[in-house]
């Protein structure tokens, strides 16, 4: 196997999701390739750390409150240049919206012309949309509906026309030509000999 194939199967290999043959091929490749072996070892260490972190300690209400306070304190701290810290889900909606607002303000300051251009593009699209509307559509929407009797009559007419189309078109009995019976072979032989 090649390195890119082995590396793409890293997660499945570490989770023991591969068949025996593929796992054996990966093991042989890891013995021969130190770069892939180092990558797999790092992935195993990372998974072990994550598992240990998840298994450590109980998740209590006090822990969640402490996390919310630390996130709220980090969000209310003066903004420093650079990427803003990511928020964890228990931070609450208010803190999340506050951080989103700060990111939008920072983005507006950095790329004011890009946002203005995007706004102008939307205005042009809306203007073209309203200008391209068909006037007949507005008139048709304002028309009154026909009376129920006319709708029923039109429906019956349509039914009759569909029935006519569905019926096989056969000519009248008098118009049918009678099929000719084939002539016997002996007659055909004499005709070809006489000519």
* Banded model confidence at residue 182, pLDDT cuts 50, 70, 90: low
pLDDT at position 91 over 60: no
Distance CA 64, CA 133 (A): 55
- The mean pLDDT value for 15-28 works out to 88
pLDDT at position 85 over 60: no
92 sits in the region (left: phi over 0; alpha: psi -120 to 50; else beta) called left
- Angle at the Cα of 81 from the Cα atoms of 66 and 104, rounded to 5 degrees: 80
Distance CA 12, CA 172 (A): 76
Domain parsing of the chain, residue ranges: 3-55, 61-128
The whole model's pTM is what? 0.31
Distance CA 121, CA 54 (A): 48
pLDDT at position 81 over 80: no
Structure confidence at residue 32 (pLDDT): 92
- Range name among 68-72, 84-88, 105-109, 128-132 with the lowest pLDDT average: 84-88
57 sits in the region (left: phi over 0; alpha: psi -120 to 50; else beta) called left
Distant-in-sequence, close-in-space partners of 103: CB < 8 Å, separation ≥ 6: 84
């Amino acid at each position: 196997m090649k390195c890119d194939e082995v590396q793409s199967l890293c997660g499945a290999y570490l989770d023991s999701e591969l068949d025996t043959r593929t796992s054996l091929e990966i093991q042989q490749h890891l013995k021969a390739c130190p770069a892939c072996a180092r990558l797999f070892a790092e992935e195993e260490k990372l998974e072990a750390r994550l598992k240990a972190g998840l298994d450590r300690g109980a998740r209590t209400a006090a822990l969640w409150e402490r996390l919310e306070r630390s996130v709220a304190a980090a969000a209310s701290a003066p903004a420093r240049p650079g990427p803003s810290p990511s928020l964890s889900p228990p931070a609450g909606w208010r803190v999340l919206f506050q951080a989103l607002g700060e990111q939008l303000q920072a983005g507006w300051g950095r790329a004011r012309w890009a946002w203005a251009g995007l706004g102008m593009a939307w205005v042009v699209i809306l203007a073209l949309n309203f200008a391209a509307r068909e006037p007949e559509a507005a008139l048709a929407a304002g028309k009154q509906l026909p009376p129920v009797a006319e709708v029923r009559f039109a429906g019956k007419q349509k039914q009759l026309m569909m029935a006519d189309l569905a019926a096989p078109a056969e000519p009248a009995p008098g118009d049918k030509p009678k099929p000719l019976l084939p002539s016997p072979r002996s007659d055909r032989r004499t005709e070809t000999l006489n000519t």
